[in-house]
Amino acid sequence: MDTSNELIRPFMQILHMNTGLFLSALSGIGDTDAAKRIEGTSNNVRFIAFHLLEARYYLARYLGIEAESPFHDIAERIKTVDEVGDDLPTLEGLRIAWEEVSHLLESRFQGISEEELRQSSPDAWSDIIQNASVLGGIAFLLQHESHHIGQLAFLRRLLGLEPVKYS
């Protein structure tokens, strides 16, 4: 994970940490527990992990990587945990896809130029962030990941499992 681009370096670290934290959060959780809703209206581990995977693929496309989630067709049909049924992939399927897209993103982060990072963000949500550049979009999308990884960590503890580890 080396780059001479000082602008992207801190975000590379966050991407790398989030990659590991996601995998740590899912470690030891079976598909049955992952489908449990701890409280009647809460999201479950499987749905949050699915959402995170789709968000990471969104980040990849945002940065010009031509990659589609292997579960994109499901994401088109499902927007809330109440719509899920048995449609979501297994945690193992989500882990595999997460690692694949993470490798693509790490390579892209290593090669992205400062000029690309300073360009205006092409997405509509850029008006909710103070830095409406591609770099600001990366910051927003990685913060979004961190938010949901925290939810996974909390649900993991409610399932009686060990805390998420940074290693």
Q: What is the pLDDT along the chain (167 residues), one digit of tens a residue?
A: 566 789 999 999 999 999 999 999 999 999 999 999 988 888 999 999 999 999 999 999 999 999 999 998 888 887 777 777 677 899 999 999 999 999 999 999 999 999 999 998 877 665 677 778 999 999 999 999 999 999 999 999 999 999 999 87
User: Which pTM was predicted?
Assistant: 0.92
User: How far apart, in whole angstroms, are the C-alpha atoms of residue 68 and residue 103?
Assistant: 14
Q: Which residue has the tokens 């995170």?
A: 52
Amino acid (one-letter) located at 96: I
Do 123 and 140 touch, CB atoms closer than 8 A? Answer: no
Q: Which domains does the chain have, with CATH numbers?
A: 9-158 (1.20.120.450)
Angle, alpha carbons 16-57-13 (nearest 5°)? 15
Tokens matching residue 33:
């527990």
